[in-house]
Structure 1
Amino acid sequence: MTAPLTTPPLTIAFLGLGTMGGPMARHLGKAGHRLTIFNRSDARREAWMAANPGLAARVAASPAEAAQDADAVITCVGNDDDLADVVLSPNGAFTTLRPGAVFIDHTTVSARIARQIAVEGRDKEILCVDAPVSGGQSGAENGVLSIMCGGSDKAMAAARPILSAYAKRIVHVGKPGAGQTTKMVNQMCLSATIAGLSEAMRFAQAAHLDLDRVFEAISGGAAQSWQMDNRWDTMAKGEFDFGFAIDWMRKDLGLAIEEARGLGASVPTTALTDQFYADVQALGGGRQDTSALIRRLPLRGQKPA
Structure 2
Amino acid sequence: MTKLAFLGLGVMGYPMAGHLQAAGHDVCVYNRTAAKAEKWAGEHGGTHAATPREAAEGADFVMACVGNDDDLRGVCLGPDGAFAGMKAGATFVDHTTVSAKVTAELYAAAKAAGLNFVDAPISGGQAGAENGQLSIMCGGDQGAYDASEPVMNTYAKLCRRIGESGAGQMTKMCNQIAIAGLVQGLSEALHFADKAGLDGRAVVEVISQGAAGSWQMSNRYETMLDDKFEHGFAVDWMRKDLGICLSTADETGASLPVTALVDQFYKDVQNMGGGRWDTSSLFKRLNKLG
TM-score (norm 2): 0.97
Query: What is the correspondence of 1:143-292 to structure 2 with a 5 Å cutoff?
Result: 143-292=132-281
Gaps of at least 5 residues in structure 1 are: 1-8
Using the TM superposition, give the Cα deviation of residue 14 of structure 1 relative to its aligned residue in structure 2, in angstroms.
0.8
Does structure 1 residue 129 correspond to structure 2 residue 121? no
CA contact (8 A) 1:145 1:169 kept: yes
After superposition, the C-alpha distances for 1:180-203 in whole angstroms (9 at most, x for unaligned) are 111111011001100011111111
Task: Name the Cα RMSD after superposition.
Answer: 1.2
- CA shift, 1:128, in A, is 1.0
Which digits, 9 at most, give the CA deviation of each residue in 1:157-195, with x for residues without a partner?
A: 111011011001001011111111111110110011000
Aligned to 2:270, the other structure's residue is in SS state helix
Pair 1:43–1:98, CA change in 2 (3 A): same
Cα distance in 2 for partners of 1:58, 1:209 equals: 54
Which of residues 81, 84, 88 is equivalent to 1:95? 84
The structure 1 segments of at least 4 consecutive aligned residues displaced by more than 3 Å after TM superposition are: none
Equivalent residues of 1:127, 1:154 under 8 A apart? no
Identity over aligned residues, as a percent?
53
| 1:27 aligns with one of 14, 19, 22 | 19
Alignment of 1:72-83 (within 5 A): 72-83=61-72
More helix by share: 2
Post-superposition Cα deviations, 1:100-126, rounded to whole Å, max 9, x if no partner, equal 111100011111111111111112221
Q: How does 1:11-50 map to 2 (within 5 A)?
A: 11-50=3-42
Rounded Cα–Cα distance in structure 2 between residues aligned with 1:287 and 1:27:
26
Tell me, yes or no, if the aligned pair for 1:133 and 1:183 is still in contact at 8 Å.
yes
For residue 233 of structure 2, give the secondary structure of its aligned residue in structure 1. coil
CA–CA distance in structure 2, aligned partners of residues 59 and 280 of structure 1: 37
Deviations 1:56-75 (A, max 9, x none): x2221111111111111111
Q: How many angstroms does 1:304 deviate by?
A: 4.5
- Deviation larger for 89-98 or 150-159: 89-98
| Corresponding residue SS for 2:188 | helix
Aligned-residue offset at 1:96? 2.0
Provide the C-alpha distance between the structure 1 equivalents of 2:117 and 2:41, rounded to a whole number of angstroms: 28
Deviation at 1:90, TM superposition (A): 2.3
Q: Which moved more, 1:152-161 or 1:43-52?
A: 43-52
What is the alpha-carbon distance in structure 2 between the residues aligned to residue 235 and residue 159 of structure 1? 38
TM-score by length of 1: 0.93
The one-letter amino acid of 1:23's match is P
In the alignment, the residues of structure 1 paired with residue 220 and residue 50 of structure 2 have an alpha-carbon distance, to the nearest angstrom, of: 40
CA distance in 1, matches of 2:195, 2:9: 44
| Number of positions where the alignment pairs a residue of Structure 1 with one of Structure 2 | 290
Distance 1:49 1:69 in 2: 18
The secondary structure found in structure 2 opposite 1:284 is coil
Query: Are residues 1:10 and 2:2 paired?
Result: yes
**Runs of 5+ in structure 2 lacking a partner?**
none
Shift of 1:212: 2.1
* Aligned equivalents of 1:51, 1:279: Cα separation in 2: 39
Q: Secondary structure at the match of 2:177?
A: helix
